[in-house]
Structure 1
């Protein structure tokens, strides 16, 4: 074998061994997309909004409290009471009226606002009916309506207020009636005065007494004063006497509820 052939074989073996140790070229390796990874925004997990909605739903359920069986019965009683109130079934029928239902609701839930308002509404209706009856001078019916109101809530201040109002009107009606009948029976020289004379203003008091003063000053007659209050009778005399300057007025007072001044006939 020639020397040149041996050298060629050695070179081939050397190159073959080198090729086994050579790493694959960069073309066979995937190039990392660094730039695209940096540019891509972070994806938000789709499960987070759903989780938030679930939390809100649970919170809403906690806020809207489902009435208990006990509370439902109370609400039903109030609803029946309001229906009866609208139909003016206030105290009757005995087993189906507004007062019955509202009182039962308050027994289960003392201080319940709707039930308390229902009781107040019943009292208001009866007091208004009482006033209308009084205006028609049907005082028996008026008193009956006030009794109904007291049976619902005796502590309601509107009952006392309306009672006083009706009493005052009735008193005025009776006084006016008595005044008319007495005026028809008055003789010459007799003067009927208001029973509340001294609760009036000074100007009104003098306006009522002035005709008496003028006649006494003219005739110089003595007077009789018929008055239920002795102190007021003396005060009435003092006013008349102080206004008659020409002489001292002579007078007699009588404890009678006539509220009248009479000039004595000679």
Structure 2
């Protein structure tokens, strides 16, 4: 083999080795940053898509739950809402076509165990019994009785009603006892302090009248009130203290509701009220 051929062969082998190194370097070159960002964005988009799909699925499930109410259930809810609105406005039994009791009773007719309707009925009873108690405290027992009757018409089985009836009854008894004792004391004071009047048109009162209790004062003046209301005659008040004399007149006039009592006040220490002739 000649030297030229050997030289050519060595050159060919060298060139072939260089080409393989260049190819290997190209394959192992790092990925450009832009391409890496694209990969990251693609991954993020995939996650976002999954999240959106999850929210959509949850929203769809909620919508299906709302839509699952039947027509009967929707009507029941509407009746409860109307009942609660009427209760808040204190339309308890009236008007006949739009009141809380009407709506709650309708719900119980459809669904006997409905908790909201049961609570609504109990609230109506509580309101009526409270009104009854407030009336009783003012001495308006007839009004209290009417409120109790209204509560019974809503739910006669509610134990709150009988408890309130008992409470009002106890109040009446205690007040009756106090009034009886006051009348007894007033009569005793009157017999001791007031001399007997000279005639049936004259009413002597004790000098210590305004040191007594209100019930005692009314007890002593009540016969005068009854006579004035029956006879419609003017009166004369003989009393040394003008303020006390005017107070006697106010007591008499306020309890004669049919007409205004005519009166004259004389500043004399007779301590007497006298019915005058017309």
- The normalised TM-score by structure 2 is 0.51
Cα drift, residue 54 of structure 1: 1.7
- The normalised TM-score by structure 1 is 0.53
Partner of 2:84: 82
Give the Cα–Cα distance (whole angstroms) in 2 for the partners of residues 46 and 31 of structure 1: 33
Matches within 5 A, 1:163-178: 163-178=165-180
Matches within 5 A, 1:210-249: none
Partner of 1:54: 53
Query: Which one has the largest radius of gyration?
Result: 1
Structure 1 pair 32–45 and aligned structure 2 pair: CA distance change class (3 A) = farther
Matches within 5 A, 1:106-185: 106-183=108-185
Partner of 1:25: 19
Structure 1 pair 110–63 and aligned structure 2 pair: CA distance change class (3 A) = farther
Partner of 1:256: none
The alignment partner of 1:66 has SS state of helix
Give the Cα–Cα distance (whole angstroms) in 2 for the partners of residues 149 and 76 of structure 1: 24
- Alignment length, in residue pairs? 173
Structure 1, unpaired ranges of 5+: 1-7, 187-266
Question: Greater helix share, 1 or 2?
Answer: 2
Give the Cα–Cα distance (whole angstroms) in 2 for the partners of residues 87 and 53 of structure 1: 45
Give the Cα–Cα distance (whole angstroms) in 1 for the partners of residues 128 and 46 of structure 2: 64
The alignment partner of 2:134 has SS state of helix
Cα drift, residue 121 of structure 1: 1.8
Cα drift, residue 30 of structure 1: 7.0
Cα drift, residue 114 of structure 1: 2.8
Structure 2, unpaired ranges of 5+: 189-278
Structure 1 pair 152–182 and aligned structure 2 pair: CA distance change class (3 A) = same
Cα drift, residue 72 of structure 1: 1.9
Match for 2:73 among 64, 71, 76? 71
The Cα RMSD (Å) is: 3.6
Give the Cα–Cα distance (whole angstroms) in 1 for the partners of residues 109 and 136 of structure 2: 34
Give the Cα–Cα distance (whole angstroms) in 2 for the partners of residues 181 and 74 of structure 1: 59
Superposed CA deviations along residues 20-73 of structure 1, whole A, max 9, x for unmatched, are xx9693487474443625x96974262233223322432354357315232221
Structure 1 pair 25–175 and aligned structure 2 pair: CA distance change class (3 A) = same
More off after superposition, 55-64 vs 87-96:
55-64
Cα drift, residue 162 of structure 1: 1.3
